Amino acid sequence: MTKTNRKIQEIIGNLRLIWKEPLLFISILAIFYFLLTFVAFPIFQVFKTSMIISKQLDFSNYLAIFSKRYYFQPFLNSMILGICTATIGTTIGFIFAYALTRTTLSFKNFFRLTATFPIISPPFVVALAAILLFGRAGSLTPILTTIIGKYSIYGLGGLILVETIAYSPTAFLVLYGILQAIDPALEEASMDLGASRAKVFSTITLPLSTPGIASAWLLVFIQSMADFGNPMVISGNFRVLSVQAFLQITGMYDLSRGSTLAIFLLLPTLTAFFLQKYWVSRKSYVTVTGKPTGATIKRLEWYIKAPVYTCCVLFTGIVFLFYGMLVYGSFQTLWGVDATLTLKNYVEMFQVGKDYLIDSLTLSTLATPITGLLGMFLAFLIVRKKFIGRGLMEFVSMLTFAVPGTVVGIGYILAFNQKSILFPSVLTGTAWIIITLLIFRNMPVGVRSGIAALQQIDPSIEEASTDLGADSNTTFRRITLPMIAPAFFSGLAYSFVKAMTAISAVIFVVSGKWNLITVAVLGFVDNAAYAQAAAMSLLLILIVMVALGIIQLVVNRIGKGMRAIDIVG
């Protein structure tokens, strides 16, 4: 039998098996259709539009990247910003992770919570706080001016500051996992063989965590490049791609130029994503299993402790300062003019923002469970089922992770403001365009945690279910889903937080009928109504925290299923 013959026979065999499970077959087809329509098609539309100038196919937009200032400057600026933020953010993240895994630092839980807090807040609130602190009428502006002279928070410096605060937590989480997974016995062995603390660090700890560092760097780089909220608030004359693309489309109605800017934004983030996924992760020495290894020697010399602890305290202090400022600012009568404390901002915020708030809650609540279930089902198909196009399915479902929100948002208005072969109805202006965008944008994290959880679970448990007569869908519902419940709920929590705090993509698809709270906050900022913006941001953070609390409660209630993971893990 020849090789191709065999291959074909195997494919036919697989097809026949799938055919015997029509429900599975239909599910796979449906998911492919959704991924094609709501992930690939919009991105394709952005590419297509960027190549069309006055109804002609034309590549001159691309050729103009280095010659046209309105392309080159934002591209350069975004790259500089991304590189700086990634480098500083990763450094802080590493120091934090090191302090929490390798030292005897007190109040570790407190530090960990503070260090990750910016993750659950909307991306632009840090910028808002920066304006309250260091802006033209900032609380600390007079002091800072006497120290460093005249300065402006608007621009590259301010952006690096706020993005570092916003995205260091990402680096921290990656590196915390990596450092925790490095067996302390290796470091002990090195020390036992005569290495000094510094040598242990430079010959063992650092080399083993290098892939993690690279990974963290690339992830922060992607986030910084893709950031829209912070630059929108604080970039001033420092033009970055995401904001410029937005302004071109909503201000100038120049779809072609806006799309081109979006593509220039997409290319570096995609490159970073592929580097991270296919190159860095393959170099990894440690597998992050989520199971912490044993204790290590934590007696450290003062010259290591002092700078590490200082950095931790300083960063935590800054986080507190920023969010504290938000609280303080939200109670001021008129920012920069009248500092009398008042509740009127909250009243005003409610009057103006009530509808936005209800819309945000409604749409997020609708999108979240679908995102969670779909993510887990995709993970199940990808890890456990054999079918043609499985690799493609994984690739496409991960793709949105690397695609900046701006690109997705532009793609959605291009793809769904008219009927197409893929989707026979206009979605623009409806709630559905926001819901689908939220679903497909936030799904990759669920898919990823689902895949990670499934890989921990012996496939024979699901095989046992099939063996006893259950089909794939029943097995997924009754066996797989309960076992990966922790991943499912963390996926739910993540997608709710992201849905409530989303801005970069959704700002393109909101309408008079359906609007979102984050867009309202940006509106306040635009009108220099900083106190109301602060009040609304705080409310948003509060809602997110309550939601997280509820999900945590649910998780504790079904604790039986959670513990079950222990025996299979």
Binding interface with another protein (CB under 8 A): 1, 3, 6-7, 9-10, 13-14, 16-17, 20-21, 458, 460-461, 463-471, 474, 478-479, 482-483, 485, 560-561, 563-568
**200/214 Cα distance (integer angstroms):** 20
Q: At residue 292, what are phi and psi to the nearest 5 degrees?
A: -65, 145
| Torsion sign (Cα): 90, 93, 94, 95 | positive
Q: Which of 324, 312, 318, 319 is nearest to 108 (CA)?
A: 312
- The answer to whether 160 and 81 are in contact (CB under 8 A) is yes
The alpha carbon of 399 is separated from its chain's Cα centroid by a whole number of angstroms, namely 13
Least Cβ distance, residue 482 to another protein (angstroms): 4
**Cβ proximity to another protein, 102 vs 385, nearer residue:** 385
**Cβ proximity to another protein, 183 vs 463, nearer residue:** 463
The amino acid occupying position 525 is: V
**Cβ proximity to another protein, 12 vs 143, nearer residue:** 12
**Cβ proximity to another protein, 467 vs 526, nearer residue:** 467
Least Cβ distance, residue 470 to another protein (angstroms): 5
**Cβ proximity to another protein, 58 vs 471, nearer residue:** 471
**Cβ proximity to another protein, 122 vs 491, nearer residue:** 491
Q: Which of 80, 419, 59, 429 is nearest to 259 (CA)?
A: 59
- The answer to whether 96 and 512 are in contact (CB under 8 A) is no
For 420, the 3-state DSSP assignment is coil
**Cβ proximity to another protein, 272 vs 555, nearer residue:** 555
Least Cβ distance, residue 12 to another protein (angstroms): 9
Please give the sequence-ordered ranges of beta strands (E in DSSP) within 23-119, or none if there are none: 52-53, 56-57
**495/497 Cα distance (integer angstroms):** 5
Through-space distance between the first and last CA atoms of the chain, rounded to whole angstroms: 41
- The answer to whether 273 and 401 are in contact (CB under 8 A) is yes
Beta carbons within 8 Å of 395's beta carbon, 6+ residues apart: none
**Cβ proximity to another protein, 488 vs 496, nearer residue:** 488
> Two tokens at 236?
């001033």
Least Cβ distance, residue 390 to another protein (angstroms): 16
Least Cβ distance, residue 568 to another protein (angstroms): 5
Beta carbons within 8 Å of 455's beta carbon, 6+ residues apart: 383
Least Cβ distance, residue 294 to another protein (angstroms): 23
Least Cβ distance, residue 555 to another protein (angstroms): 14
**329/339 Cα distance (integer angstroms):** 9
**Cβ proximity to another protein, 299 vs 563, nearer residue:** 563
Least Cβ distance, residue 562 to another protein (angstroms): 9
